[in-house]
Amino acid sequence: MQVFQWKKSGGSNPQVKKSWIIGIISGIFGIIILSTMFYQVDTDSVGVITRFGKYIDTTQPGLHVKVPLGIDKVVRVPVQRVQKEEFGFRTVKAGIQTEYIKGRDEDVSLMLTGDLNSAVVEWIVQYQIGNPVNYLYNIRNVRSIIRDASESVMRKVVGDRSVDEVIILSRREIAQESKDQLQDMLNSMGAGIHIVTLELKDVNPPDPVKPAFNEVNEAKQEMERMVNEAWESYNKIIPKAKGEAEKTIRQAEGYGLNRVNRARGDANKFLAIWKEYNRAKDVTKRRLYLEAMNEIYPQIEKKYIVDSSQKGLLQLLNLNEMGGKK
C-alpha cells in the first residue's frame, strides 16, 4: 500500500524515487542480515549451531559467522560453569555466614536405612554440562532428572547400610558410591552431564531420636571418666604403697645392720675383756664382781642383811608394807 502512495506522490521523477526506495529496503535487509550473521560465545560456554533445526556444529568461545535470517540458530551452553543442586536443605543466602532452610525438605532428606531405621541425610551435587549436544537434545528437563536420580541413588545406597554407617562410619563411601551410580545412571540416558562432586552435608538421626544418640555419647564419655578416675586413684595409691614398702625394707635392713653391729660390738667387747681376764683370772673375776656390787647396792633402798645362822626371817618382815608397795 505504501509503495503505491510513494509512487503517486513521486510521479514527477519516478526513476529517482524508485532507487531511493530500493536503497532503504536493501539497507534494512542488510542490517538484518548482518545482525543475524555474527554471534559471540562467552568464555565459559560453547555455541551449538543448528541449520533448519538440524545440529551442524559446536563452536568454541569467540566471534563467529553463521548463515543469517534464522536459518542457522545458536544456543550457548555454559559448559565451564559448575552448577549445584541441594538436597534436604536450601541455601537462602550464600556468604561467609551462609544461611540455610532446614527441615523443610523432609521428604527429600528423611530415608530408611538398611536396618530399617531412619536417618536424615542432606547432600549436594555439583555438576557440569559435559556434552552440550546430549544435554540439549536427549532429555527435556535435565535438572529434574539430576534431582530425581540423585534422590533415588542416595536412597538406594543408604538402604544398604545401617544407621550407624550412615551417620558415623562411612560417609565418604556413601558419597563416592552415590556419585558413581548417579553418573552411570545419567550416562545411560545420555544426559550429557558430568558430576563433579557429590558431598554429604549434615547426616543426622531424626530429631526425636537425636537426644538418645547424644545420650550414647554422654554415656561413652561417662565411661571414660569413670575409667580415668579409677586409674587416677590407682596412680595415687600404688606409688605411695611402693614407697612405703621400700621404707619397710630399708628399715629391716637398718635393723639388720644394727643387730649385726651390736653383736659384733658385744662380741668384741666380751673378747677384749675375756683376753684380759685370761691373764689374771681370779683377780679380774673378783674385781668385776665387786665393781658390779658397788654399783648395785647403793641404789637399793631396802636392804636386809641376815646372819647365815638366822632362820625364820620372814616372820620379821613387814609384809604389809611389801604388799602395800604393790
Partner 1 sequence: MKGKITAIIVVIIFLIIVLPSTFYTVPMTQQVIITRFGKPVGKPVKTPGLHIKRPFVEKVIRFDKRILEWDGDPNQIPTKDKKYIWVNTYARWKITDPLKFYQSVRNEMGAQARLDDILDAATRDYITSHVLLEVVRNSNREMETAENELELAADIKAPIKWGRDKITRQILKKASKIVPQYGIELVDVRIKHINYVKEVRTKVYERMISERTRIAEKYRSEGQGKKAEIEGQMEKELQRITSEAYRKAQEIKGKADAHATVIYAEAYNNDPEFYSFIKTLETYKKSLTKNSWLIISTDNDFFKYLKNMKGK
144-163: which residues touch partner 1 (CB under 8 A)?
A: 144-145, 148-149, 151-152, 155-156, 159-163
Among 16, 65, 237, 280, binds partner 1 (CB under 8 A): 237
Instruction: Characterize 226-261 residue by residue with b for buried, 16 or more Cβ atoms within 10 angstroms of its Cβ, and e for exposed.
Output: eeeeeeeeeeeeeeeeeeeeeeeeeeeeeeeeeeee
Are the C-beta atoms of 284 and 276 separated by less than 8 Å? Answer: yes
26 scored as a contact of partner 1 (CB under 8 A) = no
In the complex, least distance from residue 95 CB atom to partner 1, rounded to whole angstroms: 31
Interaction of residue 49 with partner 1, rule CB under 8 A: no
C-alpha cell at 164: 550407624
CB of 209 to partner 1, least distance (A): 5
Q: Site map for partner 1, 175-214, x if CB under 8 A? A: ----------x--xx---------------xx-xx-xxx-
Q: Which of 37, 67, 74, 110 binds partner 1 (CB under 8 A)?
A: 110
Q: Is 70 left (phi over 0), alpha (psi -120 to 50) or beta?
A: left
Give the residue carrying C-alpha cell 523443610: 104
Beta-carbon contacts of 46 under 8 Å, excluding residues fewer than 6 positions away, are 58, 59, 60, 61, 76, 77, 79, 132
Place of cell 568464555: 43
51 is an interface residue for partner 1 by CB under 8 A: yes
Cβ of residue 143: shortest distance to partner 1, in angstroms? 10
Shortest CB 133 distance to partner 1, Å: 8
The CB density around residue 127, as the number of other CB atoms within 10 Å, is: 24
**Smallest distance, Å, CB 222 to partner 1?**
6
Amino acid identity at 35: S
**241 touching partner 1, by CB under 8 A:** yes
Binds partner 1 (CB under 8 A): choice among 303, 312, 323, 324: 303
Q: Which stretch binds partner 1 (CB under 8 A): 59-67, 93-101, 194-202, 230-238?
A: 230-238
Q: Which of 225, 130, 212 is nearest to 167 (CA)?
A: 212
**Residue of 58, 83, 138, 176 that binds partner 1 (CB under 8 A):** 138
